[in-house]
């Protein structure tokens, strides 16, 4: 790369990575950890490719010191991880498991010692199985159990941890877990889906209030939402209306309650009897003031009218002639469209890109290096678009790559590699990929030359 970065980010812009407990920790039955719904789900035949589980994952539960050193070597400023609720409260409520709290306490101290800001997510889909046995997110009580969990963790860590995320992608937890059944707990019930979604949002509000009530310092609290610009497959009225409905369920059904204290009227009407029971004070709790909104962006969503699709008569298509990763279309302008839309429509105080990354087939070359140039191009092209949004006044204050390590990609098992660091799951050996070294330089220079040859 040239000496002087052509694209330079604002002073104080924060650079880091994101990960989640179930996807990297392993140690699923160690030191008093209770079972999660993903431990149960993985053991159901056919749910996860090759019957793979997060029992060992990237063994971060035992290798976390080595992983923190990798973060330090890369010069990461922020590490977004998730706390496993079943490690803290094995039954989800009541009895606290001290070794579980100790693990995150030691991790936080190690991060701070390296000058890395910890950014814990309280919930990244690993609900304690004991709570699922009581109805899970379909049970309104779970929102209160979540607040209890937030309070316990906040009391232990908030003297050193100032930045918090309550939930990761409540849309995915609700829809993949309760409508499509592709994720734990693997249910397929439209009524339960939106009731779970509402209780996830309610638990977010309760948790923010609980964290603030026990905080030992002023906290910065947000939520991480999977958002995507929704494009109609054609200019036809039917496709445009279908895209609007899909945008409503994917984006506005979560953004509006959290940031505007109301559900979008068109979607309330569309869902009709499937909409959940909303108690008088619910929206006030859900719309508790936040310090930032986390945006998880991977790709755009292209929608066609589909009369056979239940509830929303809209289906996603994969346009031809575009570049794809192993999972999604590679569409960098989408992150610009999304950031400017969130800013224009909701005016949050601050926005963080809490996840952005790509899964491409990575391999170790004969010389032991992992030349993942497609991932460098993906990150470069998306950062150009993030910078474009910032230049237009969007208050984006940080960018986190998904992910530090190759990890358990839910129903895909270990087939999808997103890491800046290659993990040999047979030996647990870590190899920093070329993208990791590239990102380290972007952090050092707080920018890069987009014309650089890759």
Check residue 402 for interaction with ligand GCO (CB under 6 A): yes
Check residue 168 for interaction with ligand GCO (CB under 6 A): yes
Specify the residue, 232 or 357, whose C-beta has the smaller distance to ligand GCO: 357
Binding mask 326-355 for ligand GCO (x = CB under 6 A): -----------------------------x
Specify the residue, 53 or 226, whose C-beta has the smaller distance to ligand GCO: 226
User: Which of 317, 347, 438 has its CA nearest to residue 15?
Assistant: 438
Instruction: Report the C-alpha gap between 296 and 305 in whole angstroms.
Output: 26
Other beta carbons within 10 Å of 143: 22
Identified binder of ligand GCO from the candidate list 25, 126, 169, 239, rule CB under 6 A: 169
Q: Give every CB contact of residue 147 below 8 A, 6+ residues apart in sequence.
A: 203, 206, 207, 209, 210
Q: For residue 169, indicate whether it is catalytic.
A: yes
Check residue 82 for interaction with ligand GCO (CB under 6 A): no
Provide the Cα torsion 393, 167, 39, 129; round to 10°: -170
Part in contact with ligand GCO (CB under 6 A); list of ranges 88-96, 128-136, 168-176, 374-382:
168-176
Tokens of 357: 């990354």
Provide the 3-class DSSP secondary structure of residue 253: helix
- Tell me how far, at minimum, the Cβ of 153 lies from ligand GCO, in Å: 19
Provide the Cα torsion 299, 300, 306, 309; round to 10°: 50
Catalytic residue among 169, 337, 409, 434, which? 169
Place of tokens 């003031």: 289
Identified binder of ligand GCO from the candidate list 28, 194, 418, 422, rule CB under 6 A: 418
Give, as ranges, the residues between 218 and 237 that touch ligand GCO (CB under 6 A): 226
Catalytic residue among 25, 52, 355, 409, which? 355
Q: For residue 323, indicate whether it is catalytic.
A: no
Q: How far is CA 159 from CA 16, 108, 163, 204, 211, in A?
A: 22, 11, 11, 21, 11
- Tell me how far, at minimum, the Cβ of 408 lies from ligand GCO, in Å: 8
Provide the 3-class DSSP secondary structure of residue 234: coil
Part in contact with ligand GCO (CB under 6 A); list of ranges 95-103, 166-174, 338-346, 370-378:
166-174
Instruction: Report the C-alpha gap between 243 and 271 in whole angstroms.
Output: 15
Provide the 3-class DSSP secondary structure of residue 410: helix
- Tell me how far, at minimum, the Cβ of 23 lies from ligand GCO, in Å: 6
User: Which of 58, 125, 48 has its CA nearest to residue 410?
Assistant: 48
Specify the residue, 296 or 435, whose C-beta has the smaller distance to ligand GCO: 296
Part in contact with ligand GCO (CB under 6 A); list of ranges 146-154, 164-172, 199-207, 364-372:
164-172
Part in contact with ligand GCO (CB under 6 A); list of ranges 62-70, 88-96, 102-110, 165-173:
165-173
Identified binder of ligand GCO from the candidate list 39, 372, 409, 434, rule CB under 6 A: 409
Check residue 296 for interaction with ligand GCO (CB under 6 A): yes
Q: Which residue is nearest to ligand GCO (CB)?
A: 296
Check residue 25 for interaction with ligand GCO (CB under 6 A): no
Phi, psi for 77 (deg, rounded to 5): -100, -25
Q: Give every CB contact of residue 250 below 8 A, 6+ residues apart in sequence.
A: 171, 226, 227, 228, 230, 301
Go through 422-448 and write b for each residue having 16 or more CB atoms within 10 A of its CB, e for each that does not.
bbebeebebbbbbbbebbbebbebebb
| Site of interaction with ligand GCO (CB under 6 A) | 20, 23, 168-169, 172, 226, 296, 355, 402, 409, 418
Active site (catalytic) residues? 169, 355
């Amino acid at each position: 790369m040239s000496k002087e970065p052509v694209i330079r980010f604002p002073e104080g812009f924060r650079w880091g990575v994101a990960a989640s407990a179930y996807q990297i920790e392993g140690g699923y039955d160690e030191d008093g950890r209770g079972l999660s719904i993903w431990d149960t789900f993985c053991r159901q035949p056919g749910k996860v490719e090759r019957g793979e589980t997060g029992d060992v994952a990237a063994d971060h539960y035992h290798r976390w010191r080595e992983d923190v050193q990798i973060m330090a070597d890369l010069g990461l400023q922020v590490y977004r991880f998730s706390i496993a609720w079943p490690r803290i409260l094995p039954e989800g409520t009541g009895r606290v498991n001290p070794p579980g709290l100790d693990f995150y306490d030691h991790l936080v101290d190690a991060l701070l010692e390296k000058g890395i800001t910890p950014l814990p997510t309280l919930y990244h889909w690993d609900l304690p199985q004991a709570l699922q046995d009581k109805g899970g997110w379909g049970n309104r009580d779970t929102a209160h159990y979540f607040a209890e969990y937030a309070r316990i963790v906040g009391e232990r860590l908030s003297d050193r941890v100032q930045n918090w995320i309550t939930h990761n992608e409540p849309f995915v937890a609700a829809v993949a877990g309760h409508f499509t059944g592709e994720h734990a707990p693997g249910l397929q019930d439209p009524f339960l889906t939106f009731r779970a979604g509402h209780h996830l949002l309610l638990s977010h509000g309760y948790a923010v209030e609980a964290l603030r009530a026990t905080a030992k310092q002023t906290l910065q609290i947000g939520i991480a939402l999977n958002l995507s610009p929704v494009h109609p497959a054609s200019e036809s009225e039917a496709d445009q209306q279908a895209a609007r409905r899909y945008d409503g369920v994917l984006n506005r059904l979560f953004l509006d309650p959290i940031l505007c204290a109301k559900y979008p009227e068109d979607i309330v009407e569309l869902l009709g009897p499937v909409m959940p029971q909303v108690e008088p004070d619910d929206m006030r709790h859900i719309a508790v003031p936040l310090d930032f909104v986390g945006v998880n962006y991977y790709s755009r969503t292209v929608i066609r009218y589909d009369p056979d699709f239940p509830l929303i008569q809209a289906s996603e298509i994969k346009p031809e002639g575009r570049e794809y990763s192993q999972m999604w279309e590679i569409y960098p302008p989408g992150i610009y469209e999304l950031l400017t839309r969130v800013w224009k429509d909701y005016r949050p105080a601050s926005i963080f890109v809490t996840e952005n990354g790509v899964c491409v087939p990575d391999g170790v070359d004969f010389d032991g290096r992992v030349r993942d140039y497609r991932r460098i191009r993906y990150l470069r092209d998306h950062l150009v678009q993030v910078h474009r949004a910032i230049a237009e006044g969007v208050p984006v204050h940080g960018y986190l790559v998904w992910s530090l390590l190759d990890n358990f990609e839910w129903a895909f098992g270990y087939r999808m590699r997103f890491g800046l660091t290659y993990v040999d799951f047979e030996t647990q050996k870590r190899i920093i990929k070329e993208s990791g070294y590239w990102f380290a330089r972007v952090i050092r220079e707080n920018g890069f030359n987009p014309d650089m040859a890759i």
